Amino acid sequence: MPISPEQQAEIDALRATAQPTLRAVSEGMEAHLYNAHEVLDHGFIRVIDYMGDDAAICQAARVSYGKGTKSVQSDAGLIRYLMRHWHSTPFEMCEIKLHVKLPVFVARQWIRHRTANVNEYSARYSILDREFYIPEAGNLAAQSVINNQGRGEALTGEEAARVLEYLKGDAARCYDHYAEMIDQEGQQGLARELARMNLPANIYTQWYWKVDLHNLFHFLRLRADAHAQYEIRVYADAICKVVSDWVPAAYGAFEDYRMGGANLSGKAIDCVRRMLKGEKVTQETSGMSKGEWREFEGIIG
């Protein structure tokens, strides 16, 4: 299970201890604070701390031209304007710190986003728990024949069962050898920093991940996308639910302009204008490559 009884008791104790504050508080985020949201078979995300709310975004945006304009435009309208015109700095005024438990291979993909502060559980000092990500049978799929980074048809029957047995057996065997190497029956075993090299990439690690809202939105735009790898997408989906309660106006604008919107090149916009005038436009007359045209068709339907 992702959360042990001892960890849950600690969370309950933290949530039972209220602190008076003069800081801006998001009621939606307060409901999530410290609580663990389960992801995959042993993973979770939980909010450790946060700063700011929708009002903090507007406060930062208005600092350059005065408080007196506030009555002209609602906070939600201003936030939508900022998102629509790619004004990033006001969103950087909000921050979130997450405690995340995730498989190592997901962590290595996640860490490609280099705009956060990260502190990871160290297997040089501590012994990793015997917990591995084992996919559900429905998430086992063959390599896609059209996308080198994606999955194709789901494995079924004996093939799926064989793969699951490999994953379980290899993970257990690697951990057994890891534990044996660091504990030589009372004798001095192999250094933990060396023994860890034998652990599989589906073992779980943990880290604290602190990021501002602007860079978090960039992470979510890529990782909550339907084309993202399932194992990281479910973490992004869980974070989306938290963020939508934390900064509902900002998240609504993000959903509309980033997740639900699309960027068009100059050539694509020219094609749209020509189509609106009744002209039949093809890939050959568009000035786009076949790949660009395929993506353009996907956008306009």
Encode pLDDT of 184-213 as tens digits: 666 778 999 999 999 999 999 999 999 999
Count Cβ atoms below 10 Å from residue 9 Cβ, excluding itself.
Answer: 11
> Which of 288-293's residues contact partners 24+ apart within 8 Å by CB, and which partners?
292/265, 292/267, 292/268
Amino acid identity for residue 105 in this structure = F
Domains, the chain, in order of start with CATH, read 5-133+202-259 (3.30.1360.170), 266-300 (no CATH)
Q: Evaluate if residue 69 carries a pLDDT over 60.
A: no
**pTM, to two decimals:** 0.90
Sign of CA dihedral 226, 228, 229, 233: negative
Give 69 or 115, the one with higher predicted confidence. Answer: 115
Residue 73: its pLDDT value, please? 55
Task: State the catalytic residues.
Answer: 223
Encode pLDDT of 249-277 as tens digits: 999 999 999 999 999 999 999 999 999 99
Q: Evaluate if residue 18 carries a pLDDT over 60.
A: yes
In the predicted model, what is the mean pLDDT of the chain? 92
